[in-house]
């Protein structure tokens, strides 16, 4: 009853205008929203999003906004891994309002309705000190005697991590019938499994709940490139985990042996690259190696690459669709090329394996608005003698580079 009274009071000063979400995603640890506001009132000097509690606490979220012909458009960020950090929210119910400022302390609050096809989101924070929080993002209607108002909220509570929810997924590349790249009696699948198992153990020692996509028990008959999109294939396993990050470990190879060397970190093009940069620099530092020598138009930073589809590859995909007698996929030149980056991010990374091509299966999470922040680490070139030697002799160094990055960037609350 008290709560109702508090809420009535909160909504006394809230008006409902035509403010609605047009995009609503959770990628990694961040809630990111775009929206539009139909408005022709007094011109504000600033517009923010605020998270308000019934106790009157108010947390300000900066947004980008611009005038449109009938009001404003707004965005928490144009980078999918920015926006509202769900890891850092305190436990209580927060009402998400737009706050218009009109000069000296004059403000107005407006509620936001949901115009997207997505409904409530349930999110679990990363395990820290053996505790987790459950974050529910949702939409509701507040009704009082005077009016009823559509609004958005974020409810944060302490919770135990459910059995099937993980913090991080580690994906050793290839496996089963697919050995990956090979050189000098070594193959990528075996080596990435060694790295991945070590990383998993180290992360578990830090208190994280880690899912590994394969553990070496898979066989040539039941595992390989053709099982990627199976119901329990690596893509669907990752989606089902509801983890926040997926780290895929690979070794590189190039046609002409020894022509390139060093570490490449692959990620989506439309993100803030800070974590990708941290992976690259820590692997270089602790792995005692160097940033990749590979020069490419899609190199974003030293050691950081965001490979997307090229025009001819899009055309090729259309041709394949024609031959396979299915509607072509909607691929753009911003669509990540590597499936572990693209298909694990849902709509945020333009996942598209929706089952229309019957011969390869389906990503059950292709149209999800919740996705994992994905990094694919090409630790070094298996057919570069210097790299291969280092990858065998200095495994613990590479592992430390990966683990330190998680420790310094993911486990630390900034
Ligand atoms: Zn590989």
Which pLDDT score, from 0 to 100, does residue 41 have?
A: 92
CA of 183 to the centre of ligand 1 (A): 13
Q: Tell whether 207 and 297 lie within a shared domain.
A: yes
pLDDT of 127-159, one tens digit each?
Answer: 999 999 999 999 999 998 888 999 999 999 999
pTM for the model stands at: 0.96
Instruction: Provide, rounded to the nearest whole percent, the portion of the chain with pLDDT above 90.
Output: 93
In this model, does residue 305 exceed pLDDT 80? yes
Which pLDDT score, from 0 to 100, does residue 4 have?
A: 62
Q: Tell whether 12 and 114 lie within a shared domain.
A: yes
Q: 370: which strand partners?
A: 26
Q: pLDDT band for position 413 (50/70/90)? A: low
CA of 192 to the centre of ligand 1 (A): 9
CA of 174 to the centre of ligand 1 (A): 6
Q: Tell whether 112 and 183 lie within a shared domain.
A: no
| Residue 265: Cβ within 10 Å count | 29
Q: How far apart are CA 296 and CA 292, in angstroms?
A: 11
Owning domain of residue 289:
168-409
Q: pLDDT band for position 15 (50/70/90)? A: confident
In this model, does residue 2 exceed pLDDT 80? no
CA of 376 to the centre of ligand 1 (A): 9
Q: Tell whether 151 and 195 lie within a shared domain.
A: no
Is 396 part of any domain? Answer: yes
Number of folded domains in the chain? Answer: 2
Instruction: Provide, rounded to the nearest whole percent, the portion of the chain with pLDDT above 70.
Output: 99
Q: Tell whether 198 and 73 lie within a shared domain.
A: no
Q: Tell whether 234 and 294 lie within a shared domain.
A: yes
Q: How far apart are CA 22 and CA 214, in angstroms?
A: 38
CA of 252 to the centre of ligand 1 (A): 6
In this model, does residue 70 exceed pLDDT 80? yes
CA of 186 to the centre of ligand 1 (A): 13
Which pLDDT score, from 0 to 100, does residue 3 have?
A: 53
Q: Tell whether 116 and 210 lie within a shared domain.
A: no
Q: pLDDT band for position 5 (50/70/90)? A: confident
Which pLDDT score, from 0 to 100, does residue 6 have?
A: 84
Q: Tell whether 150 and 190 lie within a shared domain.
A: no
Is 122 part of any domain? Answer: yes
**What mean pLDDT is reported for the chain?**
95
């Amino acid at each position: 009853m008290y709560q109702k009274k508090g809420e009535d009071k909160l909504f006394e000063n809230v008006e409902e205008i035509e403010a609605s979400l047009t995009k609503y995603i959770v990628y990694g640890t961040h809630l990111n929203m775009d929206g539009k506001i139909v408005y022709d009132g007094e011109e504000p000097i600033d517009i923010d999003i605020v998270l308000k509690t019934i106790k009157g606490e108010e947390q300000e979220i900066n947004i980008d906004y611009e005038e449109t012909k009938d009001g404003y458009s707004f965005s928490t960020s144009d980078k999918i891994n920015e926006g509202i950090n769900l890891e850092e929210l305190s436990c209580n119910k927060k009402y998400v309002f737009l706050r218009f400022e009109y000069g000296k302390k004059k403000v107005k609050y407006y509620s936001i309705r949901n115009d997207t096809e997505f409904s409530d989101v349930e999110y679990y924070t990363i395990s820290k000190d053996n505790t987790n929080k459950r974050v529910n993002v949702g939409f509701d209607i507040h009704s009082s005697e005077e009016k009823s108002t559509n609004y958005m909220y974020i409810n944060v509570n302490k919770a135990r991590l459910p059995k099937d929810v993980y913090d991080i997924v580690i994906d050793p590349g290839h496996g089963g019938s697919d050995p990956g790249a090979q050189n000098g009696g070594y193959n990528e699948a075996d080596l990435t499994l060694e790295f991945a198992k070590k990383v998993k153990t180290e992360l578990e020692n830090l208190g994280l709940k880690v899912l590994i996509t394969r553990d070496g028990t898979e066989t040539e008959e039941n595992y390989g490139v053709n099982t990627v999109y199976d119901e329990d294939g690596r893509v669907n396993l990752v989606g089902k985990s509801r983890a926040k990050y997926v780290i895929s470990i690979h070794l590189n190879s190039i046609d002409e042996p020894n022509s390139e060397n060093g570490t490449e970190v692959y990620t989506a093009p439309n993100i803030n690259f800070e974590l990708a940069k941290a992976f690259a620099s820590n692997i270089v530092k602790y792995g005692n190696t160097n940033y990749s020598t590979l020069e490419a138009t899609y190199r974003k930073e030293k050691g950081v690459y965001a490979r997307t589809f090229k025009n001819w590859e899009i055309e090729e995909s259309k041709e394949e669709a024609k031959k396979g007698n299915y509607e072509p996929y909607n691929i753009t030149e911003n669509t990540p090329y590597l499936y572990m980056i693209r298909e694990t991010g849902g709509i945020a990374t333009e996942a598209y394996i929706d089952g229309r091509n019957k011969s390869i299966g389906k990503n059950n999470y292709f149209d999800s608005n919740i996705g994992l922040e994905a990094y694919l680490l090409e630790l070094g070139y298996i057919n570069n003698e210097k790299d291969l030697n280092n990858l065998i002799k200095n495994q613990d160094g590479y592992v430390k580079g990966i683990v330190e990055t998680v420790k310094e960037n993911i486990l630390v609350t900034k």
